[in-house]
Amino acid sequence: MAPDRHGRDVPDSSHDEAADRPPRPLGSRAPRFVKASRPLHLSWQVGVFAVGLAIVGAGIVLLPLPGPGWLVIFGGMAVWATEFIWAQLILRWTKRKVTEAAHRAMDPKVRRRNTAMLTIGLLVIAAGVGLWVSNFGIRMPWQVG
């Protein structure tokens, strides 16, 4: 427990139980009977790669379309990470960067700056729309012609 700005005891949100655990060892997560046979393990890896590739491909297709493209891509990376060390390392790096960005985004100074920038941006857009309307007026599409 840590005191907040009003002196009340609140749970310490900066403590993360997952950070206390050592990271899982790198390597294949295939069942033992699959790892025991080299041809079976190679087939397993080809299957995992194909499934991961299909998921990542679907995510890439969803990037310009409405849908959770990045989420699907990271899901495909998670599938690959069950078998390939390179995908495990990329996924660990991505998780670390996302966690760091989330902590930075919750910083009060950063939040104030972002709010100020959003307000300024909205004012500039409103001024531009007002200028456009004052010069050209508003014509509905069904009134054109």
Residue 46 lies in a domain: yes
Q: How far is CA 113 from CA 6, 60, 116, 119, in A?
A: 24, 32, 5, 10
* Domains identified in the chain, total number: 1
pLDDT value at residue 130: 92
Residue 134 lies in a domain: no
Is residue 80 within 8 A of residue 74, CB to CB? The reply is no
How many Cβ atoms are within 10 Å of 80's Cβ, its own excluded?
22
Q: How far is 53 from 59, CA to CA, in rounded Å?
A: 10
Residue 120 lies in a domain: yes
Residue 91 lies in a domain: yes
| Bridge partners for 9 per DSSP | 3
Predicted model pTM: 0.56
pLDDT value at residue 69: 87
Name the DSSP letter for residue 16. Answer: -
pLDDT value at residue 20: 67
Question: Which residues constitute the domain of residue 70?
Answer: 30-129
Residue 93 lies in a domain: yes
Residue 57 lies in a domain: yes
pLDDT tens, residue order, the chain (145 aa): 555 555 666 555 555 555 567 777 777 777 778 778 888 888 988 999 999 999 999 999 999 988 888 899 999 999 998 888 898 899 889 889 989 988 888 888 888 898 999 999 999 999 999 998 998 888 777 777 6
pLDDT value at residue 2: 58
pLDDT value at residue 106: 83
Q: Which amino acid type is present at position 98?
A: V
For residue 95, give the H/E element and its range.
helix 85-105
Residue 16 lies in a domain: no
